[in-house]
């Protein structure tokens, strides 16, 4: 970081962004508190099982998915600090309000509102800090997202210490705490209140430290940039009365397009073709997506991207490789307690798993810089079902269980590190915010549907694990397909640049 960037406002904003992100990653701690909450609700409705309370977890994620895009728009309109205050209010207030819920539907509603708060405020601290550290966005992203992993780590320990400090085991027959005899059940409302107050304090401090960078204000006030055509085939940028050509030597490709192109010109009947006007407008071109290999990439709007079969291949790969992480985060304690009667041990394992999910993103980014992003995606996609199989078969061994849970969390983190950069590489940088927002939206909704569907089956968690192993294997095959289709792309320097500078490169 340069001396020019290091001033009191920038340092405070970075601290505030990291602190605030402690509360936007809390959904990953659901697996830790699920046995307590399920046992509490059973006293009001004996038919409730772990499969039913799994819907509470998916409600949080669905709320986040639906409001991520709106959160970015809101930050542009009112600024990072008010946006973060709003998110903190929803996260804290709805967590506290959950303490009064005695029905599954009521708890799902308030936890969905927690997800809305997460979605609205997730990107605000990151965008704010990017304005302060324009040349060090990769480092800033890593620092802030460390809070995303540290928050659930802290909250999980606080919740278990409050509810079950004596380390009472669950009933071996039901897998629940007896609401009539166990003191754990009666402490659940207090747990929600403690967490709600803690989230409010953390969110208030973090949001208050965010300082709007002057550059961000200037960008909001700057005149709009207009794209015009000269002589029907040359584009220019008009800004403040000055004109600069975007087309180089009449080739019909802007600077970004050229950086993405292969060294040789595409040829043959299967090659991708483009015209001067299509490159200027960025609107029309031929793209065969998953049917043939391609050697160039283009700037696509979201409406164009969704018509490209490659977009849906990327989304399907993200779903199949990432859904197992969501599932394990929600069920690891329920599954582990079938063989390990030690609540404190399983809690610590899950808390370190949350930490691994946040910190592993820097690891995967570093590996991607060395071997390539598509290859790294393929590597993690093949590792995930293998580790999930080991997790299923060795659940009675504490060491193996702990290693597998932390590894699955870490592999889950790879999706959030790699997918935004891959989207920028394949579909362009100009519309990355809306493009990745759409990808994340479909990803979130489908993961919710799959996990909820698994819950409706009524199968035991050991059996459901095999279902997600199969889904992971499909994801591995799809990742190989993407890697094959993109193997002729010559230059990953642009991809590395986007991983380090994209404002959405860490969203989760």
Q: What is the mean pLDDT of residues 40-60?
A: 89
Residue from 502, 481, 473 nearest 130 by CA: 502
pLDDT of residue 107: 94
User: Which position has the higher pLDDT, 415 or 493?
Assistant: 415
Which comes out higher in pLDDT, residue 500 or 17? 17
> How high is the pLDDT of residue 336?
87
Residue 45 pLDDT > 80: yes
Q: How far apart are CA 310 and CA 308, in angstroms?
A: 5
**pLDDT beyond 90 at 95:** yes
Count other C-beta atoms under 10 Å from residue 63's C-beta: 27
Backbone angles phi, psi at 198, to 5 degrees: -65, -45
pLDDT tens per residue across span 190-215: 999 999 999 999 999 999 998 887 65
Q: How far is CA 307 from CA 301, 310, 376, 425, 430, in A?
A: 10, 9, 26, 17, 18
SS3 285: coil
Average pLDDT, the chain: 76
Which pair of structure tokens corresponds to residue 502?
Answer: 């994209």
Residues 6+ apart with CB under 8 A from 318: 415, 419, 439, 443
- Residues 454-484, buried b or exposed e (16+ Cβ, 10 A)? bbeeeeebeebbebbbebbbbbbebbbebbe
Which H, E and C letters describe 180-215, residue by residue?
CCCHHHHCHHHHHHHHHHHHHHHHHHHHHCCCCCHH
Local structure of 80: helix, strand or coil: helix
| Number of residues in the chain | 508
CA angle 293, 299, 305 (to 5 degrees): 70
């Amino acid at each position: 970081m340069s001396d020019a960037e290091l001033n009191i406002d920038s340092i405070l904003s970075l601290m505030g962004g990291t602190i605030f992100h402690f509360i936007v990653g809390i959904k990953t701690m659901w697996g830790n508190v699920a046995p307590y909450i399920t046992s509490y609700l059973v006293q009001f409705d004996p038919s409730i099982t772990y499969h039913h309370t799994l819907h509470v977890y998916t409600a949080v994620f669905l709320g986040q998915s639906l409001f991520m895009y709106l959160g970015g728009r809101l930050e542009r309109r009112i600024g990072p600090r008010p946006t973060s205050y709003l998110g903190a209010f929803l996260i804290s207030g709805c967590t506290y309000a959950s303490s009064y819920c005695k029905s599954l539907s009521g708890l799902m509603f308030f936890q969905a509102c927690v997800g809305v708060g997460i979605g609205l405020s997730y990107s605000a601290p990151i965008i704010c800090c990017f304005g302060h550290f324009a040349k060090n966005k990769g480092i800033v992203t890593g620092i802030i997202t460390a809070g995303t992993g540290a928050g659930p780590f802290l909250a999980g320990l606080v919740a278990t210490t409050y509810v079950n400090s004596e380390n009472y085991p669950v009933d071996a027959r039901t897998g629940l705490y007896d609401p009539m005899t166990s003191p754990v059940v009666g402490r659940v409302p207090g747990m929600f209140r403690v967490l709600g107050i803690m989230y409010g304090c953390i969110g208030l401090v973090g949001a208050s430290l965010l300082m709007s960078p002057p550059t961000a204000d200037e960008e909001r006030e700057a005149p709009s940039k207009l794209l015009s055509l000269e002589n029907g085939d040359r584009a220019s940028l008009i800004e403040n009365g000055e004109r600069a050509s975007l087309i180089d030597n009449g080739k019909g490709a802007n600077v970004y397009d050229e950086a993405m192109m292969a060294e040789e010109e595409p040829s043959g009947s299967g090659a991708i073709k483009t015209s001067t006007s299509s490159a200027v407008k960025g609107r029309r071109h031929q793209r065969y997506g998953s049917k043939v290999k391609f050697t160039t990439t283009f700037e696509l709007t979201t409406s164009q991207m969704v018509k490209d079969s490659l977009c849906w291949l990327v989304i399907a790969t993200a779903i199949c490789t990432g859904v197992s992480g969501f599932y394990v985060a929600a069920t690891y304690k329920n599954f582990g307690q079938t063989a390990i009667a030690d609540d404190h041990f399983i809690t610590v394992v899950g808390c370190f798993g949350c930490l691994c999910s946040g910190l592993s993103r820097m690891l995967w980014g570093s590996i991607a810089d060395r071997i390539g992003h598509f290859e790294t995606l393929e590597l993690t996609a093949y590792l995930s079902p293998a580790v999930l199989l080991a997790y299923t078969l060795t659940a009675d061994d504490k060491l193996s269980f702990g290693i597998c849970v932390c590894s699955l969390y870490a592999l889950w983190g790879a999706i959030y590190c790699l997918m935004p950069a891959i989207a920028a590489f394949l579909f362009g940088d100009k519309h990355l915010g809306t493009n990745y927002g759409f990808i994340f939206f479909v990803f979130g909704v489908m993961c919710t549907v799959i996990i909820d569907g698994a819950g409706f089956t009524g199968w035991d968690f050991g059996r459901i694990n095999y279902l997600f192993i199969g889904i992971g294997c499909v994801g591995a095959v799809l990742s190989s397909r993407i890697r094959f289709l993109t193997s002729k792309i010559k230059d990953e320097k642009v991809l590395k640049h986007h991983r380090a500078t994209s404002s959405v490169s860490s969203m989760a």
